[in-house]
Amino acid sequence: MLLFEITEELDHHSVEKIRKRADYEIQRFMPKKVIFDFKKVSFMDSAGIGLIIGRYKVANLYEGDVELINVKENIKKIFEMSGILKIIKIVDDLNSEATG
């Protein structure tokens, strides 16, 4: 398992740095599960959706999966509208199953 704690808003200014680090770590460790912790994220735009979808594709190259934890309701609504929750799960915590 590889855990990324996102500590800033996800917009086009911040995602490039996160993308580079996440891609490097996924390729380095080839985890079966990549988890993005959204506890400190209060804002996300379409760049954040692109970030998560892109990391989903990279993880899948290594037969891994992506999950999201600690997603605030306003961010969850953005994920729901994007349709991303059809392929990526939101879980309550690191030890629980998907909630939607």
Report whether pLDDT(100) > 50: no
- CATH code of the domain in which 59 resides: 3.30.750.24
Residue 80 sits in which domain range?
2-91
For residue 83, being part of any structural domain is answered with yes
In the chain, the DSSP E strands lie at 2-5, 33-37, 65-69, 89-91
Question: What tens digit of pLDDT does each residue of 3-12 get?
Answer: 999 999 999 9
Count of structural domains within the chain? 1
**16-54 per-position pLDDT tens digit:** 999 999 999 999 999 999 999 999 999 999 999 999 999
Q: Cβ–Cβ contacts within 10 Å for residue 42, how many?
A: 11
pLDDT for 68 equals 98
Inter-helix orientation angle 46-61/15-29, to 10°: 10
What pLDDT, on a 0 to 100 scale, did the predictor assign at position 94?
79
